[in-house]
Amino acid sequence: MEFIDYYKILELDKNATQEDIKKAYRRLARKHHPDLNPNDKEAHKKFQEINEANEVLSDPEKRKKYDQYGKDWQHAEHFEKAGRGTHAGNEAGNYGGFGGGRHSAEDEFGGQFSDFFESLFGHSGARSQAKFRGQDYHAELRLQLQEAYKTHQQVFTVNGKNIRITVPAGVENGQVIKLKGHGGTGINGGPAGDLYITFIIADHPVFRRSGNDLYATLKLPLYTAILGGEVAVDTFSGKIKLKVPPETQNGTKVRLKSKGFPVYKQEGQFGDLYIVWSIEIPTNLTPRQKELFTELSRL
Partner 1 sequence: MIPADAFCSSRHVDISFIQLLQENGLIELITIDEKIYILPDQLLELEKFSRLHYDLDINLAGIEAINHLLNRVQDMQQSITELRNRLRFYESA
- Residues forming contacts to partner 1 in the complex (CB under 8 A) are 26, 29-30, 33, 35-36, 38-39, 99-106, 108, 172-175, 203, 208-210, 215, 217
Identity of residue 274? Y
Task: Decide if 54 contacts 98 (C-beta within 8 A).
Answer: yes
Task: Decide if 235 contacts 242 (C-beta within 8 A).
Answer: no
**Toward partner 1, which CB reaches closer, 38 or 89?**
38
Looking at residue 191, what DSSP letter applies? P
Instruction: Tell me the closest approach of the beta carbon of residue 40 to partner 1, in angstroms.
Output: 10
Instruction: Tell me the closest approach of the beta carbon of residue 148 to partner 1, in angstroms.
Output: 12
**Toward partner 1, which CB reaches closer, 68 or 144?**
144
**Toward partner 1, which CB reaches closer, 94 or 175?**
175
**Toward partner 1, which CB reaches closer, 101 or 228?**
101
* Cα 10 to Cα 20, 23, 96, 263, 286, distances in angstroms: 10, 10, 20, 49, 81
CB within 8 Å of 90: residues ≥ 6 apart: none
Instruction: Tell me the closest approach of the beta carbon of residue 221 to partner 1, in angstroms.
Output: 22
Query: What span, in angstroms and rounded, lies between the C-alpha atoms of 159 and 264?
Result: 29
Instruction: Tell me the closest approach of the beta carbon of residue 46 to partner 1, in angstroms.
Output: 15
**Toward partner 1, which CB reaches closer, 94 or 173?**
173
CB within 8 Å of 216: residues ≥ 6 apart: 206, 207, 208, 233, 273, 274, 275, 276
CA angle 210, 37, 105 (to 5 degrees): 135
**Toward partner 1, which CB reaches closer, 140 or 247?**
140
**Toward partner 1, which CB reaches closer, 100 or 160?**
100
Instruction: Tell me the closest approach of the beta carbon of residue 107 to partner 1, in angstroms.
Output: 9
Instruction: Tell me the closest approach of the beta carbon of residue 298 to partner 1, in angstroms.
Output: 38
Instruction: Tell me the closest approach of the beta carbon of residue 67 to partner 1, in angstroms.
Output: 26
Closest CA to 182 of 154, 157, 199, 201: 157
Query: What span, in angstroms and rounded, lies between the C-alpha atoms of 19 and 84?
Result: 28
Query: What span, in angstroms and rounded, lies between the C-alpha atoms of 54 and 9?
Result: 9
